[in-house]
Amino acid sequence: MSDRDRGFAEYFAAKSDAMRGTAYLLCGDWHRAEDLVQTSFIKLYRAWNRIGEPGRLDAYTRQILVNTFLDETRRGFFRREQVTAEPADWAVEHTGPEDRLVLLRALARVPARQRTALVLRYWEDLSLEETAQAMKCSTGTVKSQTSRGLTALRALVPAPTAFC
């Protein structure tokens, strides 16, 4: 195994679960999330030798993931594919299945860029600047997208749930 492959494999083992969590919140389906992560890591592998500083890897990978998600959303892929979004393949419902579903369903109806801003800000805990970099937009746009996303979520999520 080459150094590149070894480094890539180690990085994948360390980060793929976290990236998949982010992808899941973006698209609302574990299968699709795995597709997104796999596509993103394939793109990362291509650029592996060009990424000089190891510290940039996370930001770079996240940016690929976000771009891949937004690209596919623009093509209407997710909208159609959500038809099979709940095949109950993973019937593990330990905590608050109802709330989880309510949130995911509401989140899926928030426009993709607003959803991305919410996930990056409140799941990945990125700063405004980092979010702007990942989404390739200004910090002002991140602020407005986040605010609109929250407003949309509040309108979509009924009041008597666990997170209200």
Partner 1 sequence: MNEHDLRDAFRTAVTTAPPSMNGVAVLDAARRADRKRKATFAGLGAAGAVVAITAGAVLLPGLGGTDTNTVAIGAPSRTTTTSPPTESSRPTVRPDGTTPSPRDGRAEELLDLLAESMPPGFVGRKKLHRAKLFQQQGDLESWRYTATVVTGTTTALDIVVHTAGNGLSEKPCAEGDQSALVCEPLTVDGKRVWISTYSQHVSEPVPRLTASHRHADGTIVSISQSGDGEPPFTKQTLAELVVSPKFVLR
**Footprint of partner 1 on this chain (CB under 8 A)?**
5, 8-9, 12-13, 16-17, 20-21, 24-25, 30-31, 34-35, 37-38, 41-42, 44-46, 77, 80-81, 83-84, 86-101, 103-105, 109, 118-119, 121-123, 150, 153-154, 157, 162-164
Per-residue tokens: 59? 């930001």
Residue indicated by tokens 């993931």: 65
Nearer to partner 1, 28 or 132 (CB): 28
Q: Which two tokens stand for residue 99?
A: 């709330």
CA distances from 103 to 46, 59, 129, 152 (A): 35, 26, 26, 12
Distance in angstroms (rounded) separating the CA atoms of residues 164 and 141: 27
Nearest distance, CB of residue 36 and partner 1, angstroms? 11
Q: Which of 38, 141 has the CB closer to partner 1?
A: 38
Nearest to 127 by CA among 62, 83, 38: 62
Q: How far is the CB of 51 from partner 1 (least distance, A)?
A: 14
Residue nearer to partner 1 on the CB measure, 103 or 132: 103
> Closest by alpha carbon to 101, among 114, 111, 115, 88?
88
Least Å distance, CB 103 to partner 1, is 5
Using the minimum distance from each CB to partner 1, give the nearer residue, 32 or 135: 32
The radius of gyration computed from the CA coordinates of the chain, to the nearest angstrom, equals 16
Nearer to partner 1, 134 or 153 (CB): 153
CB of 91 to partner 1, least distance (A): 3
